[in-house]
Amino acid sequence: MSEKILIKGNEAIAEAAIAAGCRHFFGYPITPQSELAAYLARRMPKVGGVYLQAESEVAAINMVYGAAAAGVRCMTSSSSPGISLKSEGLSYLAGCDLPAVLINVQRGGPGLGGIQPSQADYFQATRGGGHGDYHIIVLAPGGVQEMYSYTRDAFDLADKHRMTVMVLTDGILGQMMEATATENGEQTADNRQEKPWAVGGVRGERARNIVNSLYLKPSELEATNLSRYEKYKQVEETEQKYDSYLLDDAEIVVAAYGASSRIAKNAIDEARSKGVKAGLLRPITLWPFPKKAFAAAAKKARAFVSVEMSMGQMIEDIELSIRCSRPVTLCNRVGGMVPDPAMICEAILNANKEATA
Amino acid sequence: MSVVFQKTPMLTDAVLHYCPGCTHGIIHRLVAEAIDELGVGGRTVGIAPVGCSVMAYNYFNCDFIQAAHGRAPAVATGVKRARPDNIVFTYQGDGDLAAIGTAETVHAAARGENITVIFVNNAIYGMTGGQMAPTTMPGQVTQTSPYGRDPKTAGYPLRVCELLATLDGTAYCERVSADSVKNVRAAKKAIKKAFQNQIDGKGFSLVEVLSSCPTNWGLTPSAALDWIRDKMIPYYPPGVYKDTP
């Protein structure tokens, strides 16, 4: 049933959506995610699904909003500038507690920025992106296999918690090809849950369903916020996910996700060969951030190094998670530039030297 | 005792929040009657806009989604593509449909999306207190055109039916008016046709209804109806602009 194929990251996401039972995709072209939409334009008609190219990212996310309200598994994808445009829709999806899946294949910013890989949308992703108090679940795969599996999981998580789940990746992983185990889309069991809240016509069988985020009475609006945050508390408690490499005896903990984490592994090997006990803590869920794992690591570690392709965004979550109990330094490149193992190794050695001094 | 007149089932018992003399109430009733007469209420999903009719979900007795400002046709597209057997309609004002949502409107029409759009044109932003709308008339005084809309700086109004009639994807668009009994009856016929078209799978159908806003026009309800007749109808002539057989 499972077979390994050589596939691009963007295409693995698309194929995973099919396997997860997603039959409605609303897209808009933008580099470096366009292969994803192109793949689904070919694939969706073959499995009886809908591929629709919207007139804008704004329209695409609102089509998702409509399809999600109608109770089907649906997805849209974009890259950084397009995610900004979708942020209005994300806020509405959250305000109505609708499940949806969103892919961000990040590129450099701000503004039109560039088309090379970046991780500069961390704040936007983990703090919600749009207006109002809300969260989305953010998954950060570390390779093509994980792009497949976590996209698949994203649909289950979205339905389970009635939330938007974002798969946050970047131009490196999106364009990279790796051998990936996939399932046959048509044969995969569908984990869709009952959605008694969805619209679809009352058909003389039930009271009418209203999907709405407008509450003019402050007390009512406050109540919806409070109950939503009860749910978020549950999600924070149960869904934190991370991976590690040589972490058990690590004195210098390198934190990195996605493409950065792969480079960091090489640097950790190099640092170990120079006698520094370095290890990797790789967040897989960026929201909820794996706070418990960081707090635990801080008990043994002497210092942390946050490796990012941004100007220092995840570093704030690390400092919060360990309550600034250990020094945290930033090792980063931005604008489409990628940190190399040598600079990360140097950052590890420096962090070790300062912690020893 | 025989019942000679009653509320149509597609309307709920909720008290309308619209201002005295506003024609939204009439238009709601026409839409509700059309749905009831066609017998499709059980599979209808409505999409409410942002604007005066934002709370349309309180008044129509069917499933409803409240959409972001201007996005109703995109939301309707999502529903219709997900559940093609649903009858999906949007109910939108002029600011929602012809300003912030112009792209969504034009492209839903261009795609020939099989939905019904009820477009209420009262030449003003009502809910926010009477600002200039994309359909505000040249010379019309509003909160944000206090010296009268000057086309030299504020541009010209959009004629939505004329614009959409140029698109191959538009199956049907007609402009009607809610100013008189005769015109209300014509409006009902147009609205019913726009729903029948969807049932028949004909594609994008839009009915533009010229509507009054006594509060923000600063007129009495009856003077506001005169204003539709004297000012709006000459600029926005009622009629069928597209009707694909």
Residue A288 sits at the chain B interface (C-beta within 8 Å): no
Q: How confident is the model at residue A3 (pLDDT cuts 50, 70, 90)?
A: confident
Answer yes or no: are the C-beta atoms of A70 and B115 closer than 8 Å: no
pLDDT band of A357, cuts 50, 70, 90: confident
Whether pLDDT at A189 is above 70: no
> Over the stretch A21-54, which tens digit does the pLDDT of each residue have?
999 999 999 999 999 999 999 999 999 999 999 9
pLDDT for A18 = 94
Residue A190 has pLDDT above 60, yes or no: no
Q: Is residue A236 very low, low, confident or very high in pLDDT (cuts 50, 70, 90)?
A: very high
Percent residues over pLDDT 90 in chain B: 98
B47–A201 C-beta distance less than 8 A = no
Residue of A23, A50, A58, A62 for testing the chain B interface, max B β-carbons within 10 Å: A62
Can you tell me which residue has the tokens 């290890």?
Answer: A279
Contact yes or no for A67/A74 (Cβ under 8 A): yes
B43/A203 CB distance under 8 A: yes
Residue B99 vs residues A169, B32, B117: alpha-carbon distances, Å: 35, 26, 15
Same domain (yes/no): A33, A177: yes
Chain A hits for B87, CB-CB cut-off 8 Å, are 201
Reading the block at residue A11, the tokens are 């295409």
Task: Indicate if the pLDDT at residue A191 is higher than 80.
Answer: no
Q: Among A65, A200, A208, select the one facing B86 at the smallest CB separation.
A: A200
Using the beta-carbon criterion (under 8 Å), do B45 and A201 form an inter-chain contact?
A: yes
- Say yes or no: B81 contacts chain A, CB-CB below 8 A: yes
Share of chain A above pLDDT 70, in %: 97
The answer to whether the Cβ–Cβ distance between A209 and B43 falls below 8 Å is no
Distance CA B31, CA B87 (A): 13
Domain range enclosing A259: 243-356
Mean predicted lDDT score pLDDT of chain A: 96
Question: Is B29's Cβ below 8 Å from some Cβ in A?
Answer: no
Clarify whether residues A260 and A164 are in a common domain: no
CA–CA distance, B70 with A171 (Å, rounded to integer): 32
Q: Is residue A215 part of a domain?
A: no
Note whether B57 contacts A212, CB cutoff 8 Å.
yes
Helix ranges, chain A (H): 9-19, 34-43, 57-69, 80-95, 122-126, 144-161, 171-175, 218-238, 258-273, 291-300, 314-321, 341-356
Tell me the domains of chain B and their CATH numbers. 24-243 (3.40.50.970)
Q: Say which of B41, B65, B104 has its CB closest to residue A59.
A: B104
Note the pLDDT of residue A183: 81
Beta bridge partners, B91, equal B118
Q: How many domains does chain A have?
A: 2
Residues 185-214 of B with CB under 8 A from A: none
What average pLDDT does this structure show over A114-135?
96
Tens digits of residue pLDDT in B84-122: 999 999 999 999 999 999 999 999 999 999 999 999 999
Q: Which of A35, A26, A34, A40 is nearest to A89 (CA)?
A: A26
Q: Residues A234, A258: one domain?
A: no
Q: Is residue A94 part of a domain?
A: yes
- Tell whether B84 lies on the interface with A, counting CB pairs under 8 A: no
Query: So what's the pLDDT on residue A185?
Result: 53
pLDDT of residue B199: 98
pLDDT of A193 reads 75
The CATH number covering residue A308 comes to 3.40.50.920
pLDDT at residue number A226: 98
Last residue of a domain, one of A238, A263, A285: A238
Whether residue A173 is found in the same domain as residue A67: yes
Whether A84 is in a domain gets the answer yes
Q: Give, in order, the Cα–Cα distances in Å from A55 to each of A11, A26, A214, B106.
A: 22, 10, 26, 10
How far apart CA B79 and CA B77 sit, in angstroms, is: 5
**What does the pLDDT average to over A276-296?**
98
pLDDT confidence tier of residue A192, bands split at 50, 70 and 90:
low
Same domain for A352 and A283 = yes
Give the Cα separation of B156 and B236 in Å (integer): 13
pLDDT at B1: 81
pLDDT higher than 90, residue A187 = no
SS3 content of chain B, % helix, strand, coil (to 5): 40, 20, 40
Q: What is the CATH number of the domain that holds A22?
A: 3.40.50.970
Co-location of A247 and A171 in the same domain = no
Q: Per residue in A301-328, pLDDT tens?
A: 999 999 999 999 999 999 999 999 999 9
Alpha-carbon gap, residue A294 to A170, rounded angstroms: 24
Q: Check CB contact under 8 Å for A199 and B63.
A: yes
pLDDT confidence of residue A321:
98
Burial (Cβ within 10 Å: 0-12, 13-18, ≥19) of residue B141:
middle
B48, B79, B107 member nearest A66 (Cβ): B79
Interface of A with B in 211-270 (CB under 8 A): 211-214
Could you tell me if A232 and A321 lie in one domain? no
42-61 in chain A: CB under 8 A from chain B: 50, 52, 54-56, 58-60
Residues A147, A265, single domain; the answer is no
Contact (CB<8Å) B44/A56: no
- Positions of chain B with pLDDT lower than 50, given as ranges: none
Chain-chain contact of B78 with A62 (C-beta, under 8 angstroms): yes
A152 and A247 share one domain: no
Please list every residue in chain A whose beta carbon sits closer than 8 Å to the beta carbon of residue B61: 208
Tell me, yes or no, whether A247 and A107 share the same domain: no
The confidence score (pLDDT) of residue A188 equals 53
Q: Specify the pLDDT at position B64.
A: 98
A75 has pLDDT over 90: yes
How many Å apart are CA B104 and CA B49, to the nearest integer? 12
Structure tokens at A195: 């959605």
